């Protein structure tokens, strides 16, 4: 590994994993009766304070793992967690309140409500690309819903994993929250246990492995996956704004973002102006030369050698098959550096059109017929996000109506992740279930139906089925059925 980590990756043993799980199972049964709203908020306060105390460590860890700029760490790792805590505390009372379910004539005389309750002991498997955010963000929802949790951070960002461990150990007792570090073997060991819910963030390929393992214990899952999120720039787009927002969404975190624009369809009428605007925006933000882009503190790096080789090979494959490199393409294995890269003249046989890029590569595809673009999007797995740039509301609406995706951004990218009142999740290949705010609370909750007898007459339909009862049942079926 070219970037030496100050903390080596750790691996927990099978006995330690089982002991941690059993401890939480026993504690969760005892806690169920008294883990009320006040107690949950107290735990969230402890988490918020621990995050704030360790802000400098979080920044240093992300810099050590993949040279993530301090400002990006604050905006994309720390702020979302603190906002999630603040938002959850403000709304938790209403989320926890049992909701009345109005009776129908068929159950006249009963009183019904839906009562959210904790699922129990939960597993959170976090990725490496936003290691703190995607570990502690789901944890907020898990605690808010009254659960305990084991967090498995990624071994690919060992410094961040160490800080996550420090934060959790400062804020919680291990019978409530515990971090288990390790590689894929540790994940497999954890997945073999009968958790009450699994929250996984990662690739669709590993998502299938998680879902298969969960099925053996009939464990519910939330899968936050990814895919190739398309972007469409229409003929009436604000070119400067489009370039600004696409460059930020694509090249932040060096393109290692599950909801980053993967590729851009741009209308032929504005294609030349759009490409020029992209190049100008890249130069303004990161520097006009590879040397300047290497030198700027605002540009992240690819996380490790393996992913660097994967991204470099995508560029070389496209070049070998006739693609035009409009900008970038330069790499430096010594720094895991890949310059912001714009590629045109792409074809379906290139790997960049088939794989999720997860790096600083942006293919640009000209179009004339929007119907063909929509057909192309619909022919592929449903994306986690879809972005549309145009001044016309009708243009955006027809794309939204005719496609399926986890979310849609109109004249912006990525920002929907930061909206606490929106569900964050995918569809099929890009995910199952949703996170954030009340949606995250519900993901970690079981909605228990409670029905009370008040003045019900349903007993009149019970056997023995006399002539009167049969006539009454026939009336009920005809009138209420």
- Nearest residue to 60 (alpha-carbon basis) of 76, 39, 74: 74
Residue 193 has φ and ψ, to the nearest 5°, of -85, 150
- Nearest residue to 221 (alpha-carbon basis) of 433, 449, 5: 433
- Report the relative pairing of strands 99-101 and 177-179 from DSSP bridges: unpaired
Write the secondary structure of 141-206 as one string of H (helix), E (strand) and C (coil): HHHHCCCEEEEECCCCCHHHHHHHHHHHHHHCCCCCEEECCCCHHHHHHHHCCCCCEEEEECCHHH
Of 72, 77, 155, 224, which one is the catalytic site residue?
224
Q: Cβ(111)–Cβ(55) under 8 Å?
A: no
Write the secondary structure of the chain as one string of H (helix), E (strand) and C (coil): CCCCCCCCCCCCCHHHHHHHHHHHHHHHHHHCCCCCHHHHHHHHHHHHHHHHHCHHHHHHHHHHHHCCCHHHHHHHHHHHHHHHHHHHHHHHHHHHCCEEECCCHHHCCEEEEEEEEECCEEEEECCCCCCCHHHHHHHHHHHHCCCEEEEECCCCCHHHHHHHHHHHHHHCCCCCEEECCCCHHHHHHHHCCCCCEEEEECCHHHHHHHHHHHHHCCCEEEEECCCCCEEEECCCCCHHHHHHHHHHHHHHHHHCCCCCCCEEEEEHHHHHHHHHHHHHHHHHHHCCCHHHHHHCCCCCCCCCHHHHHHHHHHHHHHHHCCCEEEECCCEECCCCEECCEEEECCCCCCHHHCCCCCCCEEEEEEECCHHHHHHHHHHCCCCCEEEEECCCHHHHHHHHHHCCCCEEEECCCCHHHHCCCCCECCCECCEECCECHHHHHHHCEEEEEEEEECCCCHHHHCCCCCHHHHHHHHHHHHHHC
CA-derived radius of gyration, the chain:
26
366 catalytic residue (yes or no): no
The tokens for 300 are: 């992240």
Give catalytic residue positions. Answer: 224
């Amino acid at each position: 590994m070219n970037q030496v980590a100050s903390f080596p990756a750790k691996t927990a043993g099978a006995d330690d994993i089982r002991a941690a799980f059993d401890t939480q199972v026993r504690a969760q049964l005892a806690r169920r009766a008294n883990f009320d709203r006040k107690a949950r908020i107290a735990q969230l306060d402890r988490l918020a304070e621990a995050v704030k105390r360790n802000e400098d460590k979080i920044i240093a860890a992300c810099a050590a793992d993949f040279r993530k700029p301090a400002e990006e760490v604050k905006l994309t790792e720390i702020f979302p967690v603190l906002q999630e805590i603040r938002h959850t505390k403000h709304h938790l009372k209403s989320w926890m309140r049992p909701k009345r379910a109005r009776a129908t004539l068929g159950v006249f005389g009963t009183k019904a409500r839906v009562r959210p309750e904790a699922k129990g002991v939960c597993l959170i498997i976090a990725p490496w690309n936003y290691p703190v955010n995607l570990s502690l963000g789901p944890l907020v929802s898990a605690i808010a819903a009254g659960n305990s949790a084991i967090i498995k951070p990624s071994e690919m960002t060992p410094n961040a994993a160490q800080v996550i461990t420090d934060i959790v150990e400062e804020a919680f007792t291990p019978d409530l929250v515990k971090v288990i570090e390790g590689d894929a073997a540790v994940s497999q060991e954890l997945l073999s246990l009968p958790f009450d819910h699994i929250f996984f963030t990662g690739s669709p390929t590993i998502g299938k492995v998680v879902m298969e393992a969960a099925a053996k214990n009939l464990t519910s899952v939330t899968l936050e996956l990814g895919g190739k999120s398309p972007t469409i720039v229409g003929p009436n787009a604000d070119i400067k704004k489009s370039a600004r927002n696409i460059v930020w969404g694509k090249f932040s975190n060096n393109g290692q973002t599950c909801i980053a624009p993967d590729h851009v369809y741009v209308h032929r009428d504005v294609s030349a102006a759009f490409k020029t605007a992209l190049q100008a925006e890249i130069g303004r933000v990161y520097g006009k030369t590879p040397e300047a882009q290497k030198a700027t503190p605002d540009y992240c790096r690819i996380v490790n050698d393996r992913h660097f080789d994967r991204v470099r090979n995508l560029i070389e494959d496209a070049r070998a098959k006739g693609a035009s490199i409009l900008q970038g393409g330069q790499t430096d294995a010594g720094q895991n550096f890949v310059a912001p890269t714009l590629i045109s003249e792409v074809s379906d046989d290139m790997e960049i059109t088939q794989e999720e890029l997860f790096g600083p590569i942006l293919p640009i595809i000209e179009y004339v017929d929007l119907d063909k673009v929509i057909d192309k999007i619909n022919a592929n797995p449903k994306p986690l996000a879809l972005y549309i740039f145009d001044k016309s509301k009708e243009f955006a609406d027809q794309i939204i109506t005719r496609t399926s995706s986890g979310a849609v951004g109109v004249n912006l990218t990525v920002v929907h992740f930061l909206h606490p009142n929106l569900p964050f999740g995918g569809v099929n290949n890009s995910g199952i279930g949703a996170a954030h705010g009340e949606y995250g609370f519900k993901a970690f909750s079981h909605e228990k139906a409670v029905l009370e007898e008040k003045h019900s007459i349903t007993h009149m339909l019970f056997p023995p089925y006399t002539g009167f009862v049969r006539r009454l049942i026939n009336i009920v079926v005809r009138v209420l059925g």
